[in-house]
Amino acid sequence: MYSRPIRSFVLFLTVLLPAAAQAQSLPASLTYATYNWETQRKRLPVSSDDAQLPALVLREFSANEFAYTDAQRKNLRLFSIDHRIIRVNTSEGIEQFNKIYVPVQDGARIVTLKARTISPRGEVVEVSEGNMKELKDDDGTRNYKIFALDGVEKGSEIEYIFMRERPGTFFGREYLQSGIPARDVTFELISPATLTFETRLYHVPAGAQHDTVRQEKRITHVHLPAVVASHDETFAAPKAELMRAEYKLAYNATRGNARLFTWADASQYIHGTTYTLSKDENKALDKLMKQLPVPAGADVAVKITAAEQYLKSNFNLDPAAEPSLTRIITTRNASEVGFTRLFAAVLRRLYVEHELVLTSDRSDAPFDEGFDSWNYLSNYAFYFPATKQYLAPARPDYRYGMIPAEWTANKGLFVKTVKLGTTESAVGMVRDIPTLTADESPNDLAMTVRFFAGAGQDAYRLSRNAGRLSGAAYPAVLQLYSGR
């Protein structure tokens, strides 16, 4: 798992909005502060066709509300409500949903968490808090609440609600589709009227979104009466085709009419955090440069490959590592941001012209130039105008000339350094990231076949050696297979 470059821009955000603080109680003005399920409700109807499905979402309601937690309107928090009712019709459906996992992010707290089952006979079994456990991912990076459901049988309804409170984030992504069919799907985005969040829907039928301003709140309401299940397909990117909503903070009325968090803003911020070094960082870099085995008078490509080989062979990728070059060079551990800062500093010392590139994984969400959400700025690369090649600084499994294929056939934000006298700044431009050509990424079979005459006129022995060669200008993977 790689750290994300635009997740650590808190200092930049504080220029525009006050920093968030942990709230101790729910704001009285919160739209869904008292949200709850119906204490006594009838089971929801299903069609005969739906009753044959392994599982079906009968109702899904999600709302993200940004709200101030103090009278001075300085502390902005994000409150999320998720309410789902799932019908399970088969053993497969029961197996899929008899345990519920609720993610708990760093800096977040669970405000409400409750679940129950309703049997075909209308019997209600509510989950007790004692059955709710906490656990972590295998790599220890994510926390979960997990609870097992009792009384689940074929035809049961599984219902759960959870509310989370977390720091306000100004870019978001909500998926409206999953691997099972759904009915009555609703998503709302709510904010104070002074904050304008723009929303863009993908793969969603026209007319599903309605925007209103009511009681000093901006509300984006998305409703889908029916959502088909997504399906995996070989060599396809099903996640990129899911119905989803992207949103971003675009305007703050208290700050004027200027659009916020544009590609130009991102370029300036990323450039500053990547290339600005402290005095101690420059000292540590001086020592490192003496260790780099870069031949004197080497051309651009040789400089790049020599530096890359040394850095990727002597430094470890550690998502939890500090981004400080002083610490990176001392510990030999770097996060994705740290590796990018390290490469950028070394390339500058070697006088190698380059541009910093940020892009998305198109198998998750193709980069949308027309919607300037910083959520798309999730992967770092360098582009070298002299050779027209790319480099992925934090991917030790790739070398100069090849970056992950999912970053190519995509767009990216190219950040170029510009100087006006002694003043340094950045210019950003969204451009295409091309795929490698067939000549640059061969996939060839090398085969030798020999026939040996046997004792009889019609008797032969076949000897075969086959090898498959995959590569690029500097191959990331070389696979050889041989057989007899």
pLDDT score for 22? 41
The most confident of the ranges 23-27, 148-152, 283-287 is 283-287
Query: How does 276-310 read in b/e, with b if 16+ C-beta sit within 10 Å?
Result: ebeeebeebbeebeeebebeeeeebbebbbbbbeb
Residue 134 has pLDDT above 70, yes or no: yes
pTM for this one?
Answer: 0.85
CB atoms within 10 A of CB 42: 8
DSSP state, 240? G
Beta strand spans in 69-181 (E): 76-88, 99-104, 109-118, 124-126, 132-136, 143-148, 157-167, 171-175
Average pLDDT over residues 424-436: 96
Q: Per-residue pLDDT tens for 292-309?
A: 999 988 999 999 999 999
**pLDDT at residue 7 in the model:** 43
Count of Cβ atoms closer than 10 Å to residue 403 Cβ: 27
Looking at the chain, the whole-number percentage of residues with pLDDT higher than 70 is: 87
pLDDT on residue 1: 34
Determine whether 211 is exposed, middle or buried from the number of CB atoms within 10 Å of its CB (0-12, 13-18, 19+).
middle
Beta bridge partners of 355: 383
Q: Record the tokens describing residue 476, joined without a space.
A: 């990331």
Going from the C-alpha of 313 to that of each of 109, 333, 391, 400, the distances in angstroms are 40, 11, 15, 14
Buried b (16+ CB within 10 A) or exposed e, 111-125: bebbbbbbbeeeeee
Comparing CA positions, the residue from 169, 199, 166 lying closest to residue 12 is 169
- CATH architecture, domain defined by 263-433: Roll (3.10)
CATH topology of domain 5-255: Immunoglobulin-like (2.60.40)
Tell me: pLDDT of 128 over 70.
yes
Q: Look at residues 287, 271, 292, 372 and name the one whose alpha carbon lies nearest to residue 5.
A: 271
3-state secondary structure of 482: coil
Do 472 and 404 form a contact (C-beta atoms < 8 A)? no
Give residue limits of the domains in the chain: 5-255, 263-433, 437-484
